[in-house]
Amino acid sequence: MLEFAVAVFFMLITPGPGVLTTAGVGAGFGWRSGATFLTGLFLGTNLVALLVVSGLAAVVLSAPGLRTILTFASVVFFLYLAGKIAFSGTKIGFLEATAAPGLMGGIMLQFINPKAYAVNNLIFSGYPFWQDSLFIEAAIKFAIVNAIWIPVHIIWLWAGVSLKRLSLPEGTQRMINFGMAASLLIVVALAVLSGQSAS
């Protein structure tokens, strides 16, 4: 069980779309908006985990046409999120983003996040430790994952909010927002490419 917890920690702490977007929303819009987004992300994470555990995700993602549509939708949505982060508070005319992606934005991010499916598949199909009951094992894994997921994501949100609180010059803050948005897009591109090579 300890090996499982350590593996989960390292899978969740590494930069992926969820943590990068959380930090970006914190840096661009502050604590309150970031906490709302993070709540949606938490709900979405657990819904995706339920889809993976139930086997429904495997059935849905086995349809090649549907997989292509979902990949396209995920790229478009991540471009939207990256734009929100990049242009938050930049005061560049019509490009300024004044509203953060809220609760539904967090939920939707996990539904289209390739890393969320890969990580949950690895977490719930690997690291067996309760051979007598798969249900009890899954319940314990849910508890462990959430006990690690929550503080890890709060730390990323805090890091983003801390950048905002530094009251950096507008140009510097703009560069940070653009950097976070670019990092998000790079991670998403890598996830999409690795997903295509695996299929």
What pLDDT digit, counting tens, does each position of 1-41 carry?
Answer: 777 788 777 777 776 778 888 888 888 788 898 899 999 99
For residue range 46-85, list pLDDT tens digits in order: 999 998 888 877 777 677 777 777 777 777 777 777 777 7
CB 114, CB 191: distance < 8 Å:
yes
DSSP string, 9-35: HHHHHS--HHHHHHHHHHHHH-HHHHH
Give the separation between CA 95 and CA 86, rounded to whole angstroms.
9
What percentage of residues in the chain have a pLDDT greater than 70? Answer: 86
Nearest-angstrom CA–CA distance, 190 and 75 = 11
Quote the CA–CA distance of 8 and 1 in Å, as a whole number. 11
Residue 144 has pLDDT above 50, yes or no: yes
Question: In the prediction, which pLDDT does 96 show?
Answer: 46
Q: What is the pLDDT of residue 194?
A: 60
Instruction: Decide if 180 contacts 25 (C-beta within 8 A).
Output: no
pLDDT, tens only, 145-174: 999 999 999 998 998 888 777 777 777 777
Q: Span 110-131, mean pLDDT?
A: 78
Confidence of residue 93 (pLDDT cuts 50, 70, 90): very low
What residue type is assigned to position 97 of the chain? A
Residue range(s) defining the domain that contains residue 32: 2-8+17-198
User: Model-level pTM?
Assistant: 0.74
Structural contact between residues 16 and 24, judged by C-beta atoms closer than 8 angstroms: no
CB 123 within 8 A of CB 137: no
Number of separate domains in the chain: 1
Chain centroid offset of residue 189 CA: 14
On average, the pLDDT of the chain sits at: 78
